[in-house]
Amino acid sequence: MVSFATNTASSSSDDEEAIIRHDEHHHDDEERVADIIYSHFDSYQRSIGGSNVGNSACRAAAALRSDLLSAAIRNTIHDDDHDDDHDDDDDNTINKDSASQEATMAVLQVINATFSTIASSSSTSNNSKKNYNESVSSSLELAASFACVTSTKDDDDDGRMVRAVINRAAEFSMVEKDGIRMEACRLLGYCVGGLIVEGTSSPSILKKRGGSSTANSTNSRTNKATNQVPTTNTTATISGWRLECLLLAAEALTPRITDKIAKVRHAAITACKPLFSFLNSNSGPKKLEATMISIQSISMWILTNDSSAGNRALVARTLPIREEEENNAVTCIVERIKDVDIKVREAALDNLRENVKLERLTEDQRVEILRMGLTKRCPSTYAKTVELLCCNWLKSCKFDPIALLDKLNPVLNENICEQAAQVLLRVTSAIDCETSTEKGVELVRKHFGAPEIRSLQQQVLVKRNIIPDAPQGSDDNEDEEEKLEPPSLSPSTALFLRVKIDSATHNKSELISEIITDIPTLCNLLNSHIDTLIAFHESEAYDEMDEDDIAAYEDDKNFISLQLIHMAKSSEVLSEEGSRRHFLTIMRRILARLATPDDLVEACVKAMAAAHDKEAQFLQTVSEILVDVEDDDTFHSNLHDEKAIVIVRQMRIIAILSIVLESLSAQMVDHPIMDGFFQHLSPAITSKNAIVREHGVICLSKFCLLSSAEKVMEEFEPLLMTITGSVEERVEVRAQAALALCDLALIHEKMLLASTEDAENGEDDDDAPTKVAPPMPFKAMLLEMLGHAKPGIVIIAAEIAAKLLLAGRLRDPALIAHLVLIYFDTTLVSSVADDLEEEDDIYGDGAEVVKQVGSPVRLQQLLSIFFPTYSMSSLEANDDMMASIGPLLSIVNQKLTGLMLQQAMGKAMLAEKWPIVKMVEYICFTVDLADKKKNDESCVKEEVKAVADDSDDMMESTQADHSEENQNDGSSNDMAVVEDDDVVEASSTLLASIEIAQFLSEEGDGDAAPTYYSRALAKILGSASIDVDAEDGRLLRQLKSSVGEAEYAHDDGPTVKAIKKLANMLVDVDDHSDDESVVSAEGMHSQASDVEDESMEKENPTRSHAIHVKSS
């Protein structure tokens, strides 16, 4: 508990004592103001912890003021009895000023004692701190309430007491101790809340009846002043000394909002909550409004960047939304819906529900809120979003779901609108249930009364039909153009009805009959919408409208037609034979018309597939439709010539076949009707139009997946190889053909082998009567594409090579070398961007680029995962990864030599485009990482095996080993030295150094490689760290030999100097090995050596691979 009497003498200054000193004419029996204040504060502290917890600060402040007034009256009467000759008016003024000064100093003394208690509480126990916290909070709250009540009730008071309290709190808010700064911010918050509420209270004659009634009336308004923001119409009366006090408090709180301590920032933000009301006031003080705008800007920064989730949640919950400003604050709050902390997300959604109208949000913001909120990953966020959707947005639309969906634009945001419609239907169906398992329904039920629930159900669950009721009194002699116009059906209505059918769980047949009536009605409506759209394209209005209006009209009609098709597909009425036949007839007619919009083709094909019981019947219908498409001669327009009509016909065939091939199962492989499909497809593959050829190749790749392996290898593989290898073909077409070959190679294992064997047989067959150029093997074609000048082909080839290497269909270190080169090429992305500016971007744009095949960003992500995964996939793959250094050095050398750059430009190109040092280091790191993983796995397996083995089995194996050693004593002794030497595992640094040294000695000598390139490679050798004592002797001798040859092959000073560093390290390595002479001299051990080599390959294939390759 805070003690005030003990701190009085020590804390008050001489000036303060002089101010509060009684006048000389006071007698000893007069009551002292400070004593009354101290006693009330002590009583209030005790009451907070006792049973009388309802005694609030406002009631206590009113009671204290009443006692002070009573004491002042008694003292005045006492003075009148003793001093009859004095002037009464002057005495009353002096007594009043003196009492006011003494009360002010007493309150400041209480505040000083309270903060002194906080400063001394650091050395106390946790229980004592808890008690101190309660006493501190109660004392500061009572001090602020008393200051506000006293300054407000005294008409001639200039707010000296509350001004003094604010100034004292501002002083304490700048001290070093965190707890004092936090409590000072809370004290400022208490003062701000009390000033606003007391300053805006309306006068009433009922408040003059006594102190008790005043306390009761004040309590209801100021009990939670710091937690409630006043309405905008109450801030206009703030003026005079109250405004000055609020400005002082706001200026003191502003630096504390960005305090280094999170709890201080939290207290400052909480204290500013009542001040935010001035931002929405049109008649409030402009000076205070400007200060609060600055605080709002700081708060928006905190909302985004504060490390404390509690502070972000507090700002998200209390940040005001100014009606006249731009949507900066709204944008910040919407962004917090995807915050990592659940409390921040909930606070942001609560703020949007309570303070932001639907009209204030843009269409993108509405969609973004639903996209981030209606997610199943967080049930609490989902429930809060449902509460916002129903209690704010739907209520503002008078519970009309169609009006709400109109504001969300279902044509462009179908998925979000579908989720919103599902939520509305689910909440409306469950809101009148006594129990509900969904939290969102419970939140909505708390906001709605019985009349609102009835209005909600009447609007959402009202009976609707795809054909609205015809208007009464319609004229039978209306114009033909009006007859062609279909009945009014908005996109929002179509979507809502479709979702209502899909969401139905019981009485679905009745609901379908209520919405659709029957299939002929739906089909007639669908036909009318399509006919209207086709007629629009041929009308004069089409030429007069701009592109945006045309696109909007087409999108609306197509969207409604798609919703109608989806209704028919998902409904149960297609089970009836007559309805099914009628529906198939309409679908066939729509697909056969070339004028039908392309956006409807996929939906029509899938709906038609759902209407067939067997796939064979579906294929037969599709075959008939393709014939009808080729025979259709109704597509005539002045804007289309015959060539354009042919292209439209081919694209329609490709679109239908692509969707059909995607929907068929593997049972339809080599079906007789499939041969007829290829006859319709082949003209598109050989078309003169590049776009038609590209889509034709894509469709051909799908067609090959449903063909047998023999047919693919005999007919389709040569065709795709020809397209891929054609230099005259466009990049897009070649890329699609290569991707098709990749997919087929992953399915048919022997396809790539067959192409390689055919090429070799063609080269060796000299007796053939007519020589035909053998087809290029796919691997050779892939290597050629990886080195192509066009980045688009390089990216496609790299992705194909990564797939085939990881699947084990291809093994070649040269392919890995090309992939490493592409992975480190930083100029690839910019070069592709330049190409896309010149040509059509067939791969998409924006965020979708990352998902598209052929995107350099996507390729970088794939390769970053490919290299470690491939190295860890098998020991052979790790060997190929290590062996790729040699081809990599040669490829970079060829590229640099072909450019013929000057030394300065060559260095820049080597550093930016082909950083050879980083490439070699990355390969070594990846290989070492794979070796470490394999070693860890082998150690774990050996430990598990050792624990599982029985002791008897171990004894038997030991005896068998001893007997075998006795029988082969001589041979084992002779091979001991060789075995110990073979099991040494070579490091990746040693193997990489061998590759570089051999390149410098063979390909890098003289003018074969640029000087700057040789220096870069020699620098790698000079900085290599090789443990000569731990490495394999034969590999060290091989490296020493290659280093010596490289040293003699170059005459460049820096290159030779760097090579000599490694040569000096290898000076102690012997040129010849005694073990090798022993093994080679004794022929009887040749078989044993083969066995040892085989075992070595199994244990360490990377190292054995290097030994055999380099020795050969």
Task: Please report which helix (H) or strand (E) contains residue 501, including its range.
Answer: helix 491-503
**Residues 313-331, mean pLDDT to the nearest whole number:** 80
Q: What is the pLDDT of residues 646-691, one digit of tens each?
A: 899 999 999 999 999 988 887 777 778 888 888 889 999 989 999 9
Task: Quote the percentage of the chain above a pLDDT of 70.
Answer: 71
183 compared with 133, residue with greater pLDDT: 183
pLDDT at 1078: 41
Q: List CB contacts of 807: < 8 A, sequence separation 6 or more.
A: 746
For residue 542, pLDDT beyond 60: yes
The winner for highest mean pLDDT among 53-57, 245-249, 466-470 is: 245-249
Query: Is residue 781's pLDDT more than 70?
Result: yes
Residue 1055, Cβ neighbours under 10 Å: how many? 26
Candidate ranges 54-58, 233-237, 421-425; pick with highest mean pLDDT: 421-425
- B/e letters for 595-629, b = 16+ CB within 10 Å, e = fewer, are bbbeebbbbbbbbbbebbeebeebbebbbebbeeb
> At residue 11, does pLDDT exceed 50?
no
Pick from 566, 556, 657, 541: nearest CA to 597 = 556
Intra-chain end-to-end CA distance of the chain, in Å: 92
pLDDT value, residue 1098: 41
What is the model's pLDDT at position 1101? 43
pLDDT, residue 911, reads 62
Instruction: Provide the token pair at 201.
Output: 């209270």
Across the range 473-486, mean pLDDT stands at 46
Share of the chain above pLDDT 90, in %: 27
Tens digit of pLDDT for each residue in 112-169?
988 888 888 765 555 555 556 777 888 888 888 888 877 766 554 577 888 899 999 9
Contact 57, 107 (CB under 8 A): no
Backbone dihedral angles phi then psi of residue 140, each to the nearest 5 degrees? -65, -40
**What is the token pair recorded at 926?**
């990846």
pLDDT band per the 50, 70, 90 thresholds, residue 265:
very high
Helical ranges in 632-689 per DSSP H? 642-663, 672-685
Tell me the H-state helices in 273-378: 286-305, 309-318, 328-335, 342-355, 363-373
Amino acid identity of 206?
Answer: L
Q: What's the token pair of residue 879?
A: 């060997």
Distance between CA atoms of 855 and 792, rounded to whole angstroms? Answer: 8
pLDDT recorded at residue 419: 95
Which one has a higher pLDDT value, 157 or 69? 69
pLDDT at 621: 92
pLDDT value, residue 1043:
86
User: pLDDT, tens digit, for every residue of 248-264?
Assistant: 898 999 999 999 999 99
Residue 741 has pLDDT above 80, yes or no: yes
Assigned token pair, 92: 């009353």
> What's the rounded Cα separation, in Å, for the pair 131 and 134?
5
pLDDT at 96: 64
Task: State residue 750 phi and psi, 5-degree precision.
Answer: -85, 0
Is residue 503's pLDDT more than 90? no
- Rounded Cα–Cα distance for residues 873 and 686 (Å): 41
Q: Extract the tokens encoding 714.
A: 């005999």
Put residue 261 in one of left, alpha, beta given phi > 0 → left and psi -120 to 50 → alpha: beta
Whole-angstrom distance, CA of residue 438 vs CA of residue 669: 47
Q: Phi and psi dihedrals of 641, rounded to 5?
A: -95, -175
With beta carbons less than 8 A apart as the criterion, state whether 754 and 779 touch: no
Amino acid 522 reads: L
Q: How far apart are CA 1104 and CA 209, in angstroms?
A: 105
- Looking at per-residue confidence, does 830 or 379 come out higher? 379
Rounded to the nearest 10°, the torsion over CA 501, 502, 503, 508 is: 50
Residue 198 pLDDT grade (very low, low, confident, very high; cuts 50, 70, 90): low
Long-range contacts of the stretch 715-719 (C-beta < 8 A, 24+): 716/744, 717/741, 717/744, 717/751, 717/754, 717/755, 718/775, 719/685
Cα distance between residue 411 and residue 405, in whole Å: 10
How remote is the C-alpha of 914 from its chain's centroid?
32
Task: Collect all residues with Cβ–Cβ distance below 8 Å to 493 and sequence separation of at least 6.
Answer: 402, 464
Q: Which range among 121-130, 344-353, 643-652, 919-928 shows the weakest confidence by mean pLDDT? A: 121-130
* pLDDT at residue 278, rounded to an integer: 67
pLDDT value at 607 more than 60: yes
Range of weakest confidence among 2-16, 638-652, 783-797, 892-906:
2-16
- Highest mean pLDDT: which of 26-40, 54-68, 621-635, 903-917? 621-635
Rounded Cα distance, 317 and 136, in Å: 27
CA 792 from centre of chain:
28
Q: Which residue do the tokens 């593959």 mark?
A: 685
Please state, in angstroms and rounded to a whole number, the distance separating the CA atoms of residues 694 and 700: 10
Average pLDDT for the chain? 77
DSSP three-state, residue 852: coil
Half-sphere exposure in the Cβ direction for 857 (13 Å, CA):
11
Q: Find all residues with CB under 8 Å of 457, minimum gap 6, and list them.
A: 428, 431, 432
**Residue 150: C-alpha distances to residues 68, 106, 144, 157, 936 (Å):** 10, 13, 10, 8, 78
Provide the CA 970 distance to its chain's centre, in angstroms.
Answer: 69
Q: Is residue 412 predicted with pLDDT exceeding 60? A: yes
d(CA 961, CA 508): 78
Confirm if 371 and 337 have CB atoms less than 8 A apart.
Answer: no
What residues contact residue 1081 under an 8 Å CB cut-off, 6+ apart? none
- Determine the pLDDT at residue 1007: 61
Residue with tokens 């995107």: 855
> Stretch 284-304: mean pLDDT, rounded?
81
DSSP 211-271: HHHHHHHHHHHHTTGGG-PPPGGGSTT--THHHHHHHHHHHHHHHHHT-SSHHHHHHHHHH
Cα 822 to Cα 890: distance, rounded to the nearest angstrom: 15
321 or 1087: which leads in pLDDT: 321
Q: CA 1097, CA 1100: separation in Å to the nearest integer? A: 5
- CA–CA distance, 745 with 751 (Å, rounded to integer): 6
- Of the pLDDT bands very low, low, confident and very high (cuts 50, 70, 90), residue 759 is very low
Give pLDDT, residue 200. 54
Question: What is the rounded CA–CA span in Å between residue 881 and residue 747?
Answer: 25
Q: At what angle do helices 491-503 and 401-408 cross, to 10 degrees?
A: 120
Per DSSP, the residues of 363-381 read HHHHHHHHHHHS-TT-HHH
Per the model's pLDDT, the better-predicted residue between 512 and 1073 turns out to be: 512
Q: How many CB atoms lie within 10 A of CB 968?
A: 12
Contact call for residues 114 and 168 (beta carbons, < 8 A):
no
- Answer whether residue 383 shows pLDDT above 90: yes
- Tell me the whole-structure pTM to 2 decimals: 0.75
Task: Identify the pLDDT of residue 697.
Answer: 93
Amino acid sitting at position 698: I
Distance CA 684, CA 658 (A): 13
Q: Provide the angle, in degrees to the nearest 10, between the axes of the packed helices 1053-1065 and 1011-1022.
A: 20
561 contacts 492 by C-beta, under 8 angstroms: no
94-116 mean pLDDT: 81
Q: How far apart are CA 869 and CA 819, in angstroms?
A: 14
